[in-house]
A and B are shown apart, each in its own frame.
Chain A
Amino acid sequence: MALLEVKRMSHHFGGLQPVLDYNLSIDRGQILGLIGPNGAGKTTIFNLITGIYRPSEGDVVLDGRSIVGLPPHRIAASGLGRTFQEMRLWRHMTVLEHLKLAMYSRIDYGLAGAFLGTSRRNAQEREFEEEAMGLLRMLAVDRHASQLVTNLSYGEQRRVEIARALATRPKVLFLDEPAAGMNPDEMVRLIEIVRKLHEELGLGILLIEHRLRVVMELCQAVQTLVFGEVVAQGTPSEIQNDPKVIEAYLGEQRVED
């Protein structure tokens, strides 16, 4: 059984693009890409699986447990980490605080501990700090640990977001356009980092991305979403030559003479 399985998930709401009969299965150590034109519903699928919206039909099973209908923080704590397309960092907090906060679900000192500064609290805060520093080193942003996130460059902020998602100790990681707005250098760096994470942590990764280069280099399989429906599925090179995909991106193919 796959680590994360989405079975026949559908969703209809308001004027937004519905998601129809969506299926997904990710194993440990698998990187899956999700591509599609703007407004196809890629981010909606992320929001449905992570519990921000509740799907009207279908089931989501993470590690053998159904997570449909749980509040987002419970879903996140059960092993599903994510980043956001429009980075959602906390403006007034330092990089290190971001990572510590993502360990919220593991706090066990309680309110009394927090008020009285018990040794349990201090020990756990230190423990969190060490783990956070390890992750920051992995993403090469450790020298900014005590900086406010707003002082970091764009690419660095993106990496902090990934580090924050990792601090929740995910089994499956969702990356929503991690390369958006990056310059080519930063992009190459990102590809290296995602590959390293994949090798060292053995996560299942679902990646939404517009930059085809990132998808082609990282993903073992790709799904193409058009108007809320998966129209093509396969290896990156298969997808690249699929007429339905070309049609969705470039319009219908002209008959050659």
Chain B
Amino acid sequence: MLCLWIINNFVTSTLGKALNAVRDNETAAEAMTVDTRRTKIIAFLFGAFWAGVAGGLFAHVLRYINPAMFGIQQLAEVLAMVYFGGLNSVYGSIVGAVTINLLSEMLRPLEMFKWIAIPLLLILVMIFRPMGLVAFRDFDLRSVFGPKGP
């Protein structure tokens, strides 16, 4: 919760918004007094810092870590969570992480087929909500389950 509070504080501040501006149009950001080099360094450090925190907590939960646990599968799963929940949104990432984990547990009886069902769902999300469920704050249930929906 503390982490979320800090992240949310940061991304709602103008200093945090600079990250978006540099991504969307760097030349414009530079012309509007944004120090783009500093902003990129902050983005990198910010990401690395939270990865470190997450790793530390993870090690405490399992009391055992080894490099093989963080293979390509883990990476893909984390990316799937972020895309599923929504890009550019703190709540999106939470929604994504919770849903993917829940689905993963609920679909356990399907065994092998779980790994068909989840990617399939991900593809559907990509088709109907290309930016993810809660991307860019324009969360609207109707656009998910409306006439266009799956």
Contact = CB atoms under 8 A, between A and B. Distances in A.
Nearest to B22: A90
18 contacts: A52-B31, A71-B30, A73-B30, A76-B33, A92-B24, A92-B136, A101-B32, A102-B33, A103-B14, A105-B33, A105-B35, A107-B14, A107-B15, A111-B15, A114-B13, A114-B15, A115-B6, A117-B13
| Interface residue SS majority, chain A | helix
| Interface residue SS majority, chain B | helix
A171 interface: no
A72 interface: yes
B34 interface: yes
Contact of A50 (B14, B16, B17, B31): B31
Contacts of B5: 117
A100 B14 CA distance: 7
A121 interface: yes
Contacts of A165: 32
A254 interface: no
A93 B24 contact: yes
Contacts of B25: 88-90
Contacts of A5: none
Interface residues of A, number: 37
B32 A76 contact: yes
Interface of B: 5-6, 9-10, 13-18, 20-21, 24-25, 27-36, 42, 88, 136
Contact of A72 (B10, B13, B16, B31): B31
B31 A82 contact: yes
B97 to A, nearest CB: 21
Interface in A112-169: 113-117, 121, 125, 128, 164-165, 167-168
Contacts of A105: 33-35
Interface string A160-196: 0000110110000000000000000000000000000
Interface string A11-51: 00000000000000000000000000000000000000010
A103 B18 CA distance: 11
A228 to B, nearest CB: 22
Given A111-B42, A125-B13, A104 B35 contact: yes
B30 A121 contact: no
Contacts of B32: 73, 76, 101-102, 104, 164-165, 167-168
Nearest to A118: B9
A90 B35 contact: no
Contact of B9 (A72, A107, A114): A114
10 A-B pairs with least C-beta separation: A88-B28, A105-B33, A117-B9, A90-B24, A102-B32, A114-B13, A72-B30, A77-B33, A114-B15, A76-B33
Contacts of A116: 6, 9
A101 B17 contact: yes
A73 B35 contact: yes
Could you say which of B10, B15, B20, B29 has the most chain A C-beta atoms within 10 Å of its C-beta?
Answer: B15
B28 A84 contact: yes
A71 B39 CA distance: 14
Nearest to B138: A148
B21 A101 contact: yes
A142 B13 CA distance: 21
Contacts of A209: none
B2 to A, nearest CB: 11
Nearest to A97: B17
Given A89-B25, A109-B13, A164-B32, 17 more contacts: A50-B31, A72-B30, A72-B31, A77-B33, A82-B31, A84-B31, A88-B28, A89-B28, A90-B20, A93-B20, A104-B34, A105-B33, A105-B35, A114-B13, A114-B16, A116-B9, A121-B9
